[in-house]
Structure 1
């Protein structure tokens, strides 16, 4: 970028003769640049730096120590599912007003024992024409937890909703929801079955 130098008196005189002989391309507009004095550039004072307080990294972050389990609970997952059955029957079922026609208790069983037992129970209940059955899993025991990853309480309680969605049970199960307190609460599930064909 080149700097402008000041014109000598001879150069200024020569420039004024050239400028006087020049014709404007647009006569209605006058060249105001020559008539107006150039304003002096404004010097803005520098702003003072704000005082910076002492801080710790992460001091303004919210405390998430109470939220160690990021996965939604079983009840939340079941509530998010769309209602496929009659809404009035669903409301009565979740309020504990419908009585289950059959029930199975999986307390004390391992996963290897509980899965085939529950599969037999659901399929035989469907063949008999039952519509609402109760699967009791229990709430589970709190295990010895030393690791950084929290362990879920109740292995069967977490596994049963998945089994009910998978084949062969997925074809006969219409709706799964957590049982009312009088039928076991968080330790049991209502399983609403499709009509047999």
Structure 2
């Protein structure tokens, strides 16, 4: 139990409790040293998180640019999923090999996560995946991701990955989810 790290909420709560308490005589120096050490560790962790995020962005950019340059890309628009294939997916006769739920994400987070998911699925040779965008929470409004994802699919970084897509059956999310058929060619192959 000693190795357990405190969450941000727990740290804030502990900070409030610690400020309201008085140190025993002679212990104030130890407490101040401990607080400085915790602050230094927190700063190092935050800096490491920023470096990890920067590294991840560079790696993702390299993954996107390398395969995209080597592959022949189809024209800007995707064909709709064929009706027999769509029925088989809806009835479970054709397996959905992976799922991604984008609920609650901001568009930039969702874009990066979707691209990474589709690259991995394509690299593994998967054929049919489900992407859940959600329907949007405002009355009379489509969700931002529901509108954005089909637009992203026509962008260069997604175009070579996707063969076709179509809105899912009701029990798979209906208008808030999409069946996506990935193209057969593997990057770098």
TM-score by length of 1: 0.50
> Aligned partners of 1:163 and 1:82: how far apart in 2?
12
Asked if 1:99 corresponds to 2:95, the answer is yes
- Unaligned ranges ≥5, structure 2: 1-76
Asked if 2 retains the 8 angstrom alpha-carbon contact of 1:135 and 1:188, the reply is: yes
2:150 to 145, 161, 176: 161
Distance in 1 between residues matched to 2:168 and 2:123, nearest whole Å: 23
Aligned length: 110
CA displacement at 1:182 relative to structure 2: 1.6
* Higher helix proportion (structure 1 or 2): 2
The structure whose RCO (Cα within 8 Å, separation 6+) is larger is 2
Distance 2:125 2:110 in 1: 22
Instruction: Supply the distance in 2 between the matched residues of 1:152 and 1:115 (Cα, whole angstroms).
Output: 20
> 2: CA distance between counterparts of 1:112 and 1:135?
16
Pairwise CA distance, 1:122: 0.5
Partner of residue 124, structure 1: 120
Which of 106, 121, 127 aligns to 1:110? It is 106
1:82–1:111 distance in 2 versus 1, CA, 3 Å: closer
Tell me how large the CA RMSD over aligned residues is. 2.3
User: 2:136 matched to 1:140?
Assistant: yes
The change in CA–CA distance for 1:121 and 1:179 in structure 2 (over 3 A counts) is same
The answer as to 2:171 corresponding to 1:182 is yes
Q: Please list every run of at least 4 consecutive aligned residues from structure 1 whose deviation after the TM superposition is greater than 2 angstroms.
A: 81-99
CA–CA distance in 2 between the matches of 1:86 and 1:107?
A: 27
What CA deviation, in whole Å up to 9, does each residue of 1:142-186 have, x standing for no partner? 16xxxxxxx732000010011112111111101110011121111
Between the aligned partners of 1:119 and 1:110, the Cα distance in structure 2 is 14
SS at match of 2:95: coil
